[in-house]
A = this chain, B = another copy of it.
Amino acid sequence: MHETAMILLSVFVIFVAAQVGAEIAQRLKLPGVVGEIVAGCLIGPSMLGWLKTEQIAQGTPLDVLSEVGVVLLLFAVGLETRLDDLKKVGRSAFLVGVLGVIVPFVLGTLWAHAEGFDWTKSLFVAAAFVATSAGITARVLQELGALQRIESRVILGAAVIDDILAMLLLGVVTSLQAGGGVQVGALVLVLAQATGFVAIIGWVGTRVARRKGHWIERPVNPLSPLTITLALCLGLAFLSTEFGLAAIIGAFLAGMIASETRKREELEHQTQPLLAFLTPFFFVITGAKIDVGVFASGTALWMLLVVTFIAVISKLAGGFLGAMSLGRRGATIVGVGMVPRGEVGVVIASLGLAGGVFSNEIYAVIVAMSLLTSVITPPVLAALLRRDREENRDREENVGTP
Contacts and interface: CB of A to CB of B under 8 A. Distances in A.
Contacts of A58: 3-4
B226 A273 contact: yes
Nearest to A67: B4
Contacts of A235: 12, 16
A254 to B, nearest CB: 11
- Majority DSSP secondary structure for residues of A touching B: helix
A42 interface: no
A49 interface: no
Interface of A: 1, 3-5, 7-9, 11-12, 15-16, 19, 22-23, 26-27, 32, 58-61, 63-65, 67-68, 71, 219-221, 223-224, 226-228, 230-231, 234-235, 237-238, 241-242, 247, 270-274, 276-277, 351, 354-355
A221 B15 CA distance: 14
A8 B238 contact: yes
Given A273-B274, A274-B273, A8 B241 contact: yes
Contact of A221 (B12, B32, B238, B351): B32
Most buried by B among A227, A273, A351: A273
A63 B354 CA distance: 23
Contacts of A11: 68, 234
A231 B277 contact: no
Contacts of A355: 1
A228 B9 contact: no
17 contacts: A4-B59, A4-B67, A4-B241, A5-B247, A8-B237, A8-B238, A12-B238, A19-B227, A26-B219, A26-B221, A61-B61, A64-B64, A64-B65, A65-B65, A223-B276, A271-B273, A273-B273
Contacts of A234: 8, 11-12, 15-16
